[in-house]
Amino acid sequence: MRNCVFCKIIQGQISAHKIYETKDIFVFLDINPYTRGHSLVIPKKHYQDIFNIPAEELEKLIVEVQKTAKLLKDKLNAEAINIFQRNGRMAGQEIDHIHFHVVPRYGKDGVEMLPKGNYQGNDFEKIVKLLTK
């Protein structure tokens, strides 16, 4: 896609701190990291989000997400790893090119994840009923 920041990174038009790449995947450091080593894993082909990427391409992508998580945990001595992915503006997606965040976690690093909610009354049953029709 012509105006996609990630596509420009893949094409070398914008610089990035590349960790590694394969034939289909590009992995680099996030410029606004939550923690040291926060990386992005993206397909080289442009897909807007989880709803547009073919399953076989998503499979390749998630394998590299796992590889990246292991690399960051081992090489940066992270205690844990968060992996997340956003779809749409309401979910916080800023760049319309599917990508996974792989965030190493260290002791008391101060990173807060989304706050937890709760269900009221028979919400569980209502939701299950809607999703299993």
Residues serving a catalytic function are 99
Q: How far apart are CA 61 and CA 127, in angstroms?
A: 30
Exposure class string for 36-68: b at 16+ Cβ within 10 A, else e: ebbbbbbbbbbbbbbeebeeebeebbeebbebb
User: CB-based contacts of 52: which residues, under 8 Å, 6+ apart?
Assistant: 98
pLDDT digits (tens, 9 = 90+) for 5-54: 999 999 999 999 999 999 999 999 999 999 999 999 999 999 999 999 99
Q: How far apart are CA 77 and CA 8, in angstroms?
A: 31
pLDDT digits (tens, 9 = 90+) for 79-121: 999 999 999 999 999 999 999 999 999 999 999 877 788 888 8
pTM of the model: 0.91
The answer to whether 42 touches 97, Cβ cutoff 8 Å, is yes
Q: Under CATH, which architecture does the 5-131 domain have?
A: 2-Layer Sandwich (3.30)
